[in-house]
Amino acid sequence: MSVTAAAGFRAAGVAAGVKSSGAKDVALVVNDGPLSSAAAVFTANRAKANPVLWSQQAIAGGSARAVVLNSGGANCFTGAFGFQTTHQTAERVAERLGIGAIDVQVASTGLIGVGDEAFRAAVLHGVDLAAEALAADGGEDAARAIMTTDSVPKQAVARGADHGAAASGGRWVVGGMAKGAGMLAPGLATMLVVLTTDAAAPADVLDRALRAATRATFDRLDSDGCMSTNDSVWLLASGASGIEADEAALTAAVTAVCDDLAAQLQQDAEGASHDITIEVTGAGTEDDAVVVGRSVARSNLFKAAIFGNDPNWGRVLAAIGTTDAPFDPYAVDVSFNGVRVCHAGEPDRPREEVDLAPRATRILIELHAGDAAATIRTNDLTHDYVHENSAYAS
Protein backbone atom coordinates (compact mmCIF):
# COMPACT_ATOMS: atom_id res chain seq x y z
CA MET A 1 0.00 0.00 0.00
CA SER A 2 3.01 2.30 -0.42
CA VAL A 3 6.22 3.15 -2.20
CA THR A 4 7.77 0.06 -0.56
CA ALA A 5 5.00 -2.32 -1.65
CA ALA A 6 7.14 -3.46 -4.57
CA ALA A 7 10.06 -5.77 -3.82
CA GLY A 8 13.52 -4.24 -4.07
CA PHE A 9 12.73 -0.90 -2.45
CA ARG A 10 13.50 0.61 0.94
CA ALA A 11 12.36 3.97 2.22
CA ALA A 12 12.51 6.28 5.21
CA GLY A 13 10.95 9.50 6.43
CA VAL A 14 12.62 11.54 9.18
CA ALA A 15 12.35 14.83 11.04
CA ALA A 16 15.50 16.84 10.34
CA GLY A 17 14.47 20.36 11.30
CA VAL A 18 13.67 21.72 7.83
CA LYS A 19 10.15 22.35 9.09
CA SER A 20 10.01 24.50 12.20
CA SER A 21 7.09 22.35 13.42
CA GLY A 22 9.34 19.37 14.12
CA ALA A 23 7.30 17.17 11.78
CA LYS A 24 8.92 14.69 9.38
CA ASP A 25 10.48 16.60 6.50
CA VAL A 26 13.03 14.45 4.63
CA ALA A 27 12.14 11.28 2.73
CA LEU A 28 14.41 8.84 0.94
CA VAL A 29 13.36 6.09 -1.45
CA VAL A 30 16.04 3.62 -2.58
CA ASN A 31 15.93 1.09 -5.38
CA ASP A 32 18.07 -1.95 -4.43
CA GLY A 33 17.68 -3.47 -7.87
CA PRO A 34 18.74 -5.56 -9.57
CA LEU A 35 17.53 -3.00 -12.14
CA SER A 36 17.72 0.77 -11.80
CA SER A 37 15.64 1.83 -14.78
CA ALA A 38 13.62 4.97 -14.22
CA ALA A 39 11.47 7.59 -15.90
CA ALA A 40 10.13 10.96 -14.76
CA VAL A 41 7.80 13.74 -15.77
CA PHE A 42 8.46 17.28 -14.53
CA THR A 43 6.48 20.51 -14.34
CA ALA A 44 5.93 22.29 -17.64
CA ASN A 45 6.49 25.59 -15.83
CA ARG A 46 9.52 27.46 -17.20
CA ALA A 47 10.17 28.66 -13.69
CA LYS A 48 11.63 25.41 -12.40
CA ALA A 49 12.99 24.79 -8.92
CA ASN A 50 16.63 23.82 -8.47
CA PRO A 51 15.85 20.14 -7.74
CA VAL A 52 13.88 19.94 -11.00
CA LEU A 53 16.77 21.49 -12.93
CA TRP A 54 19.10 18.87 -11.42
CA SER A 55 16.80 15.86 -11.73
CA GLN A 56 15.92 16.53 -15.36
CA GLN A 57 19.57 16.28 -16.30
CA ALA A 58 20.43 13.40 -13.99
CA ILE A 59 17.67 11.12 -15.26
CA ALA A 60 18.45 11.65 -18.93
CA GLY A 61 20.19 8.26 -19.05
CA GLY A 62 17.07 6.43 -17.85
CA SER A 63 18.53 5.33 -14.54
CA ALA A 64 18.00 6.27 -10.89
CA ARG A 65 18.90 4.48 -7.66
CA ALA A 66 17.31 6.87 -5.19
CA VAL A 67 14.91 9.77 -4.78
CA VAL A 68 15.43 12.18 -1.90
CA LEU A 69 12.61 14.57 -1.11
CA ASN A 70 12.18 17.36 1.43
CA SER A 71 9.22 19.40 2.56
CA GLY A 72 9.58 22.74 4.34
CA GLY A 73 11.08 24.69 1.43
CA ALA A 74 10.84 24.59 -2.37
CA ASN A 75 14.45 25.59 -3.07
CA CYS A 76 13.10 27.53 -6.03
CA PHE A 77 14.45 30.96 -7.06
CA THR A 78 17.25 30.59 -4.56
CA GLY A 79 20.00 31.14 -7.10
CA ALA A 80 23.35 29.40 -7.47
CA PHE A 81 23.44 28.71 -3.75
CA GLY A 82 20.18 26.78 -4.05
CA PHE A 83 21.42 24.71 -6.97
CA GLN A 84 24.54 23.85 -4.99
CA THR A 85 22.28 22.75 -2.14
CA THR A 86 20.50 20.34 -4.47
CA HIS A 87 23.81 19.06 -5.82
CA GLN A 88 25.23 18.59 -2.33
CA THR A 89 22.06 16.75 -1.33
CA ALA A 90 22.47 14.31 -4.21
CA GLU A 91 26.15 13.84 -3.37
CA ARG A 92 25.40 13.20 0.29
CA VAL A 93 22.83 10.53 -0.66
CA ALA A 94 25.30 8.98 -3.09
CA GLU A 95 28.00 8.90 -0.42
CA ARG A 96 25.71 7.25 2.15
CA LEU A 97 24.48 4.63 -0.33
CA GLY A 98 27.73 4.01 -2.19
CA ILE A 99 26.31 5.01 -5.56
CA GLY A 100 26.92 7.82 -8.02
CA ALA A 101 25.30 11.23 -7.52
CA ILE A 102 23.97 11.03 -11.07
CA ASP A 103 21.72 8.19 -9.88
CA VAL A 104 20.07 10.39 -7.24
CA GLN A 105 16.88 12.30 -8.01
CA VAL A 106 16.02 15.27 -5.79
CA ALA A 107 12.69 16.94 -4.95
CA SER A 108 11.74 19.84 -2.69
CA THR A 109 8.40 21.30 -1.69
CA GLY A 110 7.32 24.29 0.36
CA LEU A 111 7.59 28.04 -0.10
CA ILE A 112 9.37 29.49 -3.12
CA GLY A 113 12.42 31.51 -2.15
CA VAL A 114 13.19 29.33 0.89
CA GLY A 115 16.63 27.70 0.68
CA ASP A 116 19.19 29.40 2.89
CA GLU A 117 22.18 27.99 4.88
CA ALA A 118 19.93 26.65 7.62
CA PHE A 119 17.75 24.93 5.03
CA ARG A 120 20.78 23.32 3.43
CA ALA A 121 22.18 22.11 6.76
CA ALA A 122 18.84 20.62 7.80
CA VAL A 123 18.33 18.79 4.51
CA LEU A 124 21.84 17.33 4.57
CA HIS A 125 21.30 16.28 8.19
CA GLY A 126 18.05 14.68 7.07
CA VAL A 127 19.86 12.65 4.44
CA ASP A 128 22.13 11.21 7.12
CA LEU A 129 19.18 10.33 9.34
CA ALA A 130 17.14 8.87 6.49
CA ALA A 131 19.98 6.72 5.20
CA GLU A 132 20.20 5.16 8.68
CA ALA A 133 16.46 4.62 8.86
CA LEU A 134 15.93 2.97 5.47
CA ALA A 135 13.58 0.00 5.79
CA ALA A 136 11.57 -2.32 3.58
CA ASP A 137 8.44 -1.05 5.34
CA GLY A 138 9.47 2.62 5.40
CA GLY A 139 6.94 3.73 2.76
CA GLU A 140 4.46 5.18 5.23
CA ASP A 141 7.12 7.31 6.93
CA ALA A 142 8.31 8.57 3.57
CA ALA A 143 4.75 9.49 2.57
CA ARG A 144 4.38 11.49 5.79
CA ALA A 145 7.71 13.30 5.39
CA ILE A 146 6.67 14.90 2.07
CA MET A 147 3.40 16.40 3.37
CA THR A 148 2.95 20.18 3.45
CA THR A 149 -0.65 21.38 3.58
CA ASP A 150 -1.79 17.80 3.05
CA SER A 151 -4.02 16.58 5.86
CA VAL A 152 -3.33 12.90 5.16
CA PRO A 153 -0.54 10.93 3.45
CA LYS A 154 -1.44 9.57 0.02
CA GLN A 155 -0.44 6.06 -1.01
CA ALA A 156 -1.71 3.52 -3.52
CA VAL A 157 -0.84 0.13 -4.94
CA ALA A 158 -1.87 -2.01 -7.91
CA ARG A 159 -0.96 -5.59 -8.73
CA GLY A 160 0.23 -6.49 -12.18
CA ALA A 161 -2.23 -8.30 -14.39
CA ASP A 162 -0.05 -9.93 -16.99
CA HIS A 163 -1.52 -12.44 -19.38
CA GLY A 164 -1.84 -15.78 -17.58
CA ALA A 165 -1.11 -14.25 -14.22
CA ALA A 166 -4.35 -12.32 -13.93
CA ALA A 167 -6.12 -15.12 -12.10
CA SER A 168 -3.57 -15.07 -9.31
CA GLY A 169 -3.83 -11.31 -8.99
CA GLY A 170 -0.56 -10.66 -10.75
CA ARG A 171 2.99 -11.40 -9.71
CA TRP A 172 4.44 -7.90 -9.68
CA VAL A 173 3.36 -4.71 -8.01
CA VAL A 174 3.22 -0.97 -8.63
CA GLY A 175 3.14 1.17 -5.50
CA GLY A 176 3.32 4.89 -4.97
CA MET A 177 3.06 7.92 -2.75
CA ALA A 178 2.04 11.50 -3.47
CA LYS A 179 1.79 14.89 -1.80
CA GLY A 180 0.07 18.08 -2.79
CA ALA A 181 -3.35 19.13 -3.82
CA GLY A 182 -2.77 19.86 -7.44
CA MET A 183 -1.54 18.52 -10.67
CA LEU A 184 1.47 18.23 -12.84
CA ALA A 185 0.62 21.14 -15.01
CA PRO A 186 -0.93 23.14 -13.60
CA GLY A 187 -0.82 22.42 -9.87
CA LEU A 188 -2.29 23.99 -6.77
CA ALA A 189 0.71 23.32 -4.62
CA THR A 190 3.77 21.32 -5.46
CA MET A 191 2.77 17.80 -6.40
CA LEU A 192 5.43 15.18 -5.83
CA VAL A 193 4.84 11.53 -6.71
CA VAL A 194 7.14 8.53 -6.45
CA LEU A 195 6.00 5.27 -8.04
CA THR A 196 7.90 2.02 -7.70
CA THR A 197 7.55 -1.39 -9.32
CA ASP A 198 9.33 -4.70 -8.97
CA ALA A 199 8.48 -5.56 -12.55
CA ALA A 200 11.41 -5.70 -14.92
CA ALA A 201 11.20 -2.98 -17.55
CA PRO A 202 13.68 -0.81 -19.40
CA ALA A 203 13.57 2.98 -19.09
CA ASP A 204 11.84 3.55 -22.42
CA VAL A 205 8.94 1.30 -21.41
CA LEU A 206 8.71 3.06 -18.06
CA ASP A 207 8.74 6.41 -19.81
CA ARG A 208 5.89 5.50 -22.15
CA ALA A 209 3.87 3.94 -19.34
CA LEU A 210 4.39 6.95 -17.08
CA ARG A 211 3.50 9.53 -19.72
CA ALA A 212 0.38 7.63 -20.72
CA ALA A 213 -0.65 7.36 -17.08
CA THR A 214 0.00 10.98 -16.07
CA ARG A 215 -1.69 12.28 -19.21
CA ALA A 216 -4.95 10.59 -18.21
CA THR A 217 -4.75 11.26 -14.48
CA PHE A 218 -2.61 13.99 -12.93
CA ASP A 219 -2.78 16.12 -16.07
CA ARG A 220 -6.58 16.13 -15.73
CA LEU A 221 -6.63 17.12 -12.09
CA ASP A 222 -6.97 20.89 -12.12
CA SER A 223 -7.64 22.07 -8.63
CA ASP A 224 -7.05 25.79 -9.09
CA GLY A 225 -5.40 26.29 -12.46
CA CYS A 226 -2.04 27.23 -10.97
CA MET A 227 1.11 25.49 -12.15
CA SER A 228 3.84 24.63 -9.68
CA THR A 229 7.57 25.16 -10.08
CA ASN A 230 8.44 21.82 -8.42
CA ASP A 231 5.98 19.18 -9.71
CA SER A 232 7.68 15.86 -10.37
CA VAL A 233 6.50 12.29 -10.88
CA TRP A 234 8.91 9.35 -10.88
CA LEU A 235 8.55 5.69 -11.81
CA LEU A 236 11.39 3.43 -10.65
CA ALA A 237 11.70 -0.27 -11.53
CA SER A 238 13.75 -2.70 -9.44
CA GLY A 239 13.01 -5.84 -11.45
CA ALA A 240 13.10 -7.71 -8.13
CA SER A 241 10.08 -9.82 -9.13
CA GLY A 242 12.16 -11.29 -11.90
CA ILE A 243 9.21 -10.87 -14.24
CA GLU A 244 9.34 -8.79 -17.37
CA ALA A 245 6.08 -6.89 -17.42
CA ASP A 246 3.90 -6.75 -20.47
CA GLU A 247 3.90 -3.04 -21.45
CA ALA A 248 0.13 -2.77 -21.67
CA ALA A 249 -0.30 -4.43 -18.28
CA LEU A 250 2.34 -2.19 -16.75
CA THR A 251 0.72 0.90 -18.23
CA ALA A 252 -2.64 -0.19 -16.85
CA ALA A 253 -1.23 -0.77 -13.37
CA VAL A 254 0.69 2.52 -13.33
CA THR A 255 -2.42 4.32 -14.55
CA ALA A 256 -4.50 2.68 -11.82
CA VAL A 257 -2.08 3.83 -9.12
CA CYS A 258 -1.91 7.36 -10.58
CA ASP A 259 -5.69 7.51 -10.80
CA ASP A 260 -6.01 6.43 -7.17
CA LEU A 261 -3.44 9.01 -6.03
CA ALA A 262 -5.05 11.75 -8.17
CA ALA A 263 -8.39 11.06 -6.49
CA GLN A 264 -6.69 11.27 -3.08
CA LEU A 265 -5.10 14.60 -4.04
CA GLN A 266 -8.47 15.92 -5.19
CA GLN A 267 -10.18 14.82 -1.98
CA ASP A 268 -7.53 16.60 0.11
CA ALA A 269 -7.39 19.80 -1.97
CA GLU A 270 -6.92 22.92 0.11
CA GLY A 271 -10.18 24.22 1.50
CA ALA A 272 -12.43 22.31 -0.90
CA SER A 273 -15.95 21.28 0.05
CA HIS A 274 -16.85 19.54 -3.23
CA ASP A 275 -14.88 17.09 -5.38
CA ILE A 276 -16.09 17.89 -8.87
CA THR A 277 -15.84 15.43 -11.74
CA ILE A 278 -16.46 17.07 -15.11
CA GLU A 279 -17.24 14.53 -17.81
CA VAL A 280 -17.26 15.84 -21.36
CA THR A 281 -18.77 13.59 -24.02
CA GLY A 282 -19.55 13.97 -27.71
CA ALA A 283 -16.35 15.89 -28.46
CA GLY A 284 -14.59 15.75 -31.82
CA THR A 285 -11.33 14.63 -30.20
CA GLU A 286 -10.14 13.70 -26.73
CA ASP A 287 -8.04 16.89 -26.68
CA ASP A 288 -11.17 18.93 -27.39
CA ALA A 289 -12.93 17.22 -24.51
CA VAL A 290 -10.02 18.05 -22.19
CA VAL A 291 -9.99 21.71 -23.30
CA VAL A 292 -13.73 22.03 -22.70
CA GLY A 293 -13.59 20.32 -19.31
CA ARG A 294 -10.60 22.37 -18.23
CA SER A 295 -12.32 25.66 -19.15
CA VAL A 296 -15.07 24.80 -16.67
CA ALA A 297 -12.60 23.59 -14.04
CA ARG A 298 -10.87 26.99 -14.23
CA SER A 299 -13.97 29.17 -13.96
CA ASN A 300 -14.01 30.81 -10.56
CA LEU A 301 -17.65 31.72 -11.07
CA PHE A 302 -18.58 28.08 -11.70
CA LYS A 303 -16.47 26.89 -8.76
CA ALA A 304 -17.98 29.45 -6.39
CA ALA A 305 -21.48 28.43 -7.53
CA ILE A 306 -20.79 24.78 -6.64
CA PHE A 307 -19.60 25.91 -3.21
CA GLY A 308 -23.00 27.61 -2.88
CA ASN A 309 -24.80 24.40 -4.01
CA ASP A 310 -26.03 26.31 -7.06
CA PRO A 311 -26.43 24.25 -10.28
CA ASN A 312 -25.52 27.29 -12.36
CA TRP A 313 -25.41 25.84 -15.88
CA GLY A 314 -25.12 29.33 -17.37
CA ARG A 315 -21.61 29.57 -15.94
CA VAL A 316 -20.77 26.20 -17.54
CA LEU A 317 -21.88 27.42 -20.96
CA ALA A 318 -20.13 30.76 -20.51
CA ALA A 319 -16.91 28.89 -19.70
CA ILE A 320 -17.01 26.41 -22.59
CA GLY A 321 -17.90 29.21 -24.99
CA THR A 322 -14.43 30.64 -24.48
CA THR A 323 -12.77 27.57 -26.05
CA ASP A 324 -12.20 27.02 -29.73
CA ALA A 325 -13.14 23.33 -29.60
CA PRO A 326 -15.57 22.56 -32.43
CA PHE A 327 -19.16 22.33 -31.14
CA ASP A 328 -22.35 24.37 -31.26
CA PRO A 329 -22.89 26.17 -27.91
CA TYR A 330 -26.62 26.13 -28.60
CA ALA A 331 -26.74 22.32 -28.98
CA VAL A 332 -25.13 21.46 -25.65
CA ASP A 333 -26.73 19.49 -22.79
CA VAL A 334 -25.54 20.03 -19.21
CA SER A 335 -26.40 17.79 -16.25
CA PHE A 336 -25.59 18.30 -12.55
CA ASN A 337 -25.57 15.09 -10.51
CA GLY A 338 -27.73 13.31 -13.07
CA VAL A 339 -30.30 16.08 -13.57
CA ARG A 340 -30.23 17.64 -17.05
CA VAL A 341 -30.72 21.34 -16.32
CA CYS A 342 -29.84 22.55 -19.82
CA HIS A 343 -30.93 20.90 -23.07
CA ALA A 344 -29.86 22.18 -26.49
CA GLY A 345 -28.75 25.49 -24.99
CA GLU A 346 -32.04 26.17 -23.18
CA PRO A 347 -33.32 25.57 -19.64
CA ASP A 348 -34.48 21.97 -19.10
CA ARG A 349 -35.23 20.42 -15.67
CA PRO A 350 -35.79 22.87 -12.77
CA ARG A 351 -32.64 23.62 -10.79
CA GLU A 352 -34.52 22.69 -7.60
CA GLU A 353 -34.26 19.02 -8.63
CA VAL A 354 -30.46 19.07 -8.28
CA ASP A 355 -28.98 18.02 -4.94
CA LEU A 356 -25.50 19.45 -4.54
CA ALA A 357 -25.21 18.65 -0.85
CA PRO A 358 -22.92 15.60 -1.35
CA ARG A 359 -19.20 16.29 -1.60
CA ALA A 360 -18.93 14.21 -4.77
CA THR A 361 -20.28 16.31 -7.63
CA ARG A 362 -20.73 15.10 -11.19
CA ILE A 363 -21.08 17.49 -14.13
CA LEU A 364 -21.90 15.96 -17.52
CA ILE A 365 -21.41 18.12 -20.61
CA GLU A 366 -22.72 16.56 -23.82
CA LEU A 367 -21.35 18.46 -26.80
CA HIS A 368 -23.03 16.40 -29.57
CA ALA A 369 -20.10 17.08 -31.90
CA GLY A 370 -18.35 13.69 -32.06
CA ASP A 371 -17.51 10.52 -30.17
CA ALA A 372 -14.56 11.51 -27.97
CA ALA A 373 -14.73 12.01 -24.21
CA ALA A 374 -12.56 12.99 -21.25
CA THR A 375 -12.96 13.57 -17.55
CA ILE A 376 -11.41 16.45 -15.58
CA ARG A 377 -11.28 16.60 -11.81
CA THR A 378 -11.45 19.83 -9.87
CA ASN A 379 -12.71 21.35 -6.62
CA ASP A 380 -14.99 24.18 -5.63
CA LEU A 381 -13.83 27.67 -4.68
CA THR A 382 -14.48 28.15 -0.99
CA HIS A 383 -13.87 30.48 1.90
CA ASP A 384 -11.37 27.96 3.24
CA TYR A 385 -9.42 28.00 -0.03
CA VAL A 386 -9.09 31.77 0.20
CA HIS A 387 -8.19 31.53 3.87
CA GLU A 388 -5.53 28.83 3.47
CA ASN A 389 -3.93 30.53 0.51
CA SER A 390 -3.93 34.00 1.98
CA ALA A 391 -2.52 32.79 5.30
CA TYR A 392 -0.12 30.09 4.07
CA ALA A 393 3.00 32.21 4.15
CA SER A 394 2.33 33.82 7.50
- What positions carry a catalytic annotation? 190
Write down the least CB distance from residue 303 to its own copies, Å: 9
Write down the least CB distance from residue 320 to its own copies, Å: 7
CA distances from 47 to 3, 81, 229 (A): 28, 17, 6
Was 251 annotated as part of a binding site?
A: no
Contact residues toward its own copies (CB under 8 A) are 44-48, 74, 76-79, 111-113, 186, 188, 224-229, 298-301, 304-305, 307-308, 310, 312-315, 317-323, 329-330, 342, 344-347, 381-383, 385-387, 389-394
348 φ, ψ (degrees, to nearest 5): -120, -105
| Nearer to its own copies among residue 48 and residue 179 (C-beta) | 48
**Helices 300-307/313-320 angle, 10° precision:** 160
Write down the least CB distance from residue 354 to its own copies, Å: 12
CA distances from 168 to 158, 159, 238 (A): 13, 10, 21
Which is nearest to 237 in space by CA: 49, 2, 9?
9
Helices (H), the chain: 50-58, 79-97, 117-133, 139-145, 203-216, 247-267, 286-297, 300-307, 313-320, 383-391
| Nearer to its own copies among residue 242 and residue 308 (C-beta) | 308
Write down the least CB distance from residue 60 to its own copies, Å: 21
| Nearer to its own copies among residue 25 and residue 380 (C-beta) | 380
Residue type, 201: A
Was 270 annotated as part of a binding site?
A: yes
Was 179 annotated as part of a binding site?
A: yes
Was 285 annotated as part of a binding site?
A: no
**Spatial contact of 104 and 138, defined as CB atoms under 8 Å apart:** no
| Nearer to its own copies among residue 117 and residue 346 (C-beta) | 346
| Nearer to its own copies among residue 229 and residue 251 (C-beta) | 229
Q: How far apart are CA 73 and CA 362, in angstroms?
A: 36
Q: How far apart are CA 383 and CA 170, in angstroms?
A: 45
**Spatial contact of 230 and 76, defined as CB atoms under 8 Å apart:** yes
Write down the least CB distance from residue 45 to its own copies, Å: 4
**Helices 313-320/286-297 angle, 10° precision:** 130
Determine the 3-state secondary structure of 386 from DSSP: helix
| Nearer to its own copies among residue 242 and residue 350 (C-beta) | 350
**Spatial contact of 68 and 43, defined as CB atoms under 8 Å apart:** no
Write down the least CB distance from residue 366 to its own copies, Å: 15
Write down the least CB distance from residue 129 to its own copies, Å: 28
**Spatial contact of 138 and 150, defined as CB atoms under 8 Å apart:** no
Was 148 annotated as part of a binding site?
A: yes
CA distances from 29 to 66, 129, 130 (A): 6, 13, 9
| Nearer to its own copies among residue 329 and residue 358 (C-beta) | 329
Angle formed at CA 145 by CA 144 and CA 150, multiple of 5 degrees:
55
Was 312 annotated as part of a binding site?
A: no
Residues in the annotated binding site for substrate: 148, 179, 190, 270, 389, 394
Residues in the annotated binding site: 148, 179, 190, 270, 389, 394
